[in-house]
Amino acid sequence: MEYYHQPRDHEGSMPVNHDISSADSSRQAPPVTRRHWLKRVAGSFVAGTAGVGYYSLHVEPHWIEVVHRPLPIRGLPAELENRTLVQISDVHIGHEVDDRFLIQAFQQVSEWAPDLVVFTGDFLTLHRDGSLPIEKMERVLKHFPQGKLATLGILGNHDYGLQWNDLSAASVVAQIAEDAGIQILRNRSKFVRGLQIVGFDDYWGPNFGGPRVLADSDFSLPTLILCHNPDVADLPVWYDYRGWILSGHTHGGQVKPPCFGPPILPIGNKRYAAGEIPLEDGRHLYVNRALGHSMRVRINVRPELTVFRLVREESA
């Protein structure tokens, strides 16, 4: 609370309040000139721009949105009904993303005690000299949440080092992840209590095995597919698969002006920016907006943790 001190006159008594309504009635505020108006507008613009800049750099990149939604799977085993599956994507461990932010997010997920945790690619951002942030990865991934039934992951394009084509870098990243308890699916599948989970290496990398692993999969079984780059959904490699594909890669564009789509997306099909996208052949794509960032700026695209509840898909 603010207190205002009213000065006393020279004799120590309080000055008399005067009615200024009549005494100052002839006084009028000076007219607002065009110059003064422009200065006010410019000042407001500068203040507003500074506020947006601070928000986009320091607030929204660390303001996680937890998305809760069902994940209907055809033929889901009864044992898995209503189990939780948490999707984490694109953490980008390195110089751009604060280690403490990621560790705190991981600890939060661990407190939820999920049944399954899946990671959909891009563990890291390279150091500016092109080297892998190995020590940071080892330190941060020690806190990666573990699913009670399984903890699975795939590699993204950044996990392949410079120009996305370093196989040795990808092997190092995969090993660090495995040491942290994340089973990496490199063009193969894993059964978890009767649910077939298929994962393959990144579309832009030299070890993309989507066509082969999909050809070898039995889609009469309940299946879920992990695929970092959602553009793969448009390739003619899906055969009779009609289930869900969990992806990342886009970060939702990180910046989305009101009433417009994100101006920058690292994908060919701009429909695949974020969220659920039903595909024409009956498949469903879900694109996570990423927990981390490639550049620390977000506007109207908050980082995301997705909590799915596994349910049996109703027959048509």
Cα Rg for the chain, rounded, in angstroms?
A: 27
Per residue in 146-171, pLDDT tens? 999 999 999 999 999 999 999 999 99
Write the pLDDT tens digit of every residue in 243-283: 999 999 999 999 998 888 899 899 999 999 999 999 989 99
Residue with the larger pLDDT of the pair 262 and 316: 262
* Cα–Cα distance, 155 to 164 (Å, whole number): 11
- Please give the C-alpha separations between residue 287 and each of 28, 73, 105, 153, 185, in angstroms, as whole numbers: 61, 17, 19, 15, 19
DSSP class of 129: T
* CATH architecture, domain defined by 64-312: 4-Layer Sandwich (3.60)
| Cα end-to-end span (Å), the chain | 65
> If pLDDT is split at 50, 70 and 90, which confidence band does 24 have?
very low
pLDDT at 47 over 50: no
Can you count the helices (H) and strands (E) in the chain?
Answer: 6, 12
In which band, very low, low, confident or very high, does the pLDDT at 9 lie, cut at 50, 70 and 90?
A: very low
Residue 50 burial class via C-beta count within 10 angstroms: exposed 0-12, middle 13-18, buried 19 and up = exposed
